Structure 1
Amino acid sequence: MDDILVETHDGWRKIVLNRPAMMNALAPAMIDRLISAIDAAEADSAIRAVVLTGAGRGFCAGQELGADVMPTEAGPPDLRQLADTWHHEAVRRIRASRLPFIAAVNGVAAGAGASFALACDFVLAAKSASFVQAFVRIGLVPDSGASWFLSRSVGDVRGRALALLGDAVPAEQAAAWGMIWRAVDDTDLMAEAEVLALRMVAAPAEAIAGIKTLFAAAPSNTLHQQLDLEARLQGEAGRSADFAEGVQAFREKRVPRYRPH
């Protein structure tokens, strides 16, 4: 069974973590295939959005605790290499992509699995889903950007407590705290994710990419640096075919028809 499934729809792509018997736990080769799927979507000019979800009852249980990550008589595993080479590279790809990523969290998202979800531009979660910073439960620290995402979404106090305690956060609580975009009824999850994907398909691609660039830069920029970046990207957007179409559609009182680039 392929551990990464890819479905191409009209203008958007679904990537499915597909190890349902193991709650879609991650292994290095699986993450390699996930990165390849992300790169393929990025390279396809017809694709305007990506939905990331899990098969079965869970979104992703985090790193599989297999032989390659377990201490042995020969010594401890190199978890720094595991994090940097696989987990972190997948997060970097999602955040750097021109494409809006939509996480459709259908069940538990734990450890690196929670980080993969939080790396996305939108996080929709089934109401039965939960988010767990499970690292401390086995004597590890958060990775895959968890400390960065949480400190910015829920603040230092809540983020720190979640990392130190390893408690599960139900989807509705995560939404109330601002950790995720929305919690929806389980039966509506994929339909809601498709609605978001189709909205992104119909959106101006260059503006979407520019918005992602702005929000990626904002945490480390001063106000003046951010104003300079906004001005530069606004200048680029103003020269785009999307802006010309948007203004024309506004004048003609019709829905704009943005084309893939």
Structure 2
Amino acid sequence: MANPLMFDSVWRDKQKFEEAEAQYQQVLAGTAAKGAPGAKDKKSGKSGGSTIKNEIAEARQQIQKVLNSGGSGGASSDNSQVMKRVASLEKENRDLKKVVEDMKTLVQKLENRVSKLEGGTSAPSAQAPAPPKPAPAEDDDDDDDIDLFGSDEDDEEVDRIRKERLAAYEAKKAKKPALIAKSSLILDVKPWDDETDMKKMEEEVRKITADGLLWGAAKLVPVGYGIKKLQINCVIEDDKISTDFLEDEITALEDYVQSMDIAAFNKI
């Protein structure tokens, strides 16, 4: 706790107390100047020592009171602020100590974890179990059972087996269906005029049959002036049916067909 004598309210009165003490000593020694407090009055013959004693006693009482109460007036208020500041600093110091301890604990945990990780990775790779070797694939043809470089006595047997395998391969290859290239076409078949029987014309077109030709959906599309054209879909095998064949067969229907065009051609 701070010494109350250090506050300004006490030090300002110090000189007054010292001067009063000095005058008191001069009065006791009889060397006090005229008119000074405590000097003897020739008329009254009385001494002012009692007054000085009272002042000194009061000063001592005030000092004692300050010592007991920790200061007076503004000093008491300053002391209270100082104590609050000290308490705040002590609390802040305790909080900082707690934060430091928490940081130390966290760093220690991190160091232990890193040490464990480094210890785990530093182990020699030879200790890890080796992966199992894959089992050798079985050969469906069992070629390993045939010694192609054997004696002359086995040459006939080797030739026989080789021929059998070649024959089996050819037979298997022959059984595979060949890829058939096909195309999808949309044909525009135009009549002579608006009096042409479009239903009859579609029937005549569908009568055209051939291997590799398949007719699909059809519809009538307006052209203008009341004339409609027949738009019909068909699928052909490229190796068997050509577009020239279709054009020749359809335009041969001269009673109904004026011309034929290919509106769309797509490979399937």
Q: Using structure 1 for the length normalisation, give the TM-score.
A: 0.19
Structure number with the bigger relative contact order (C-alpha 8 A, sep ≥ 6) is: 1
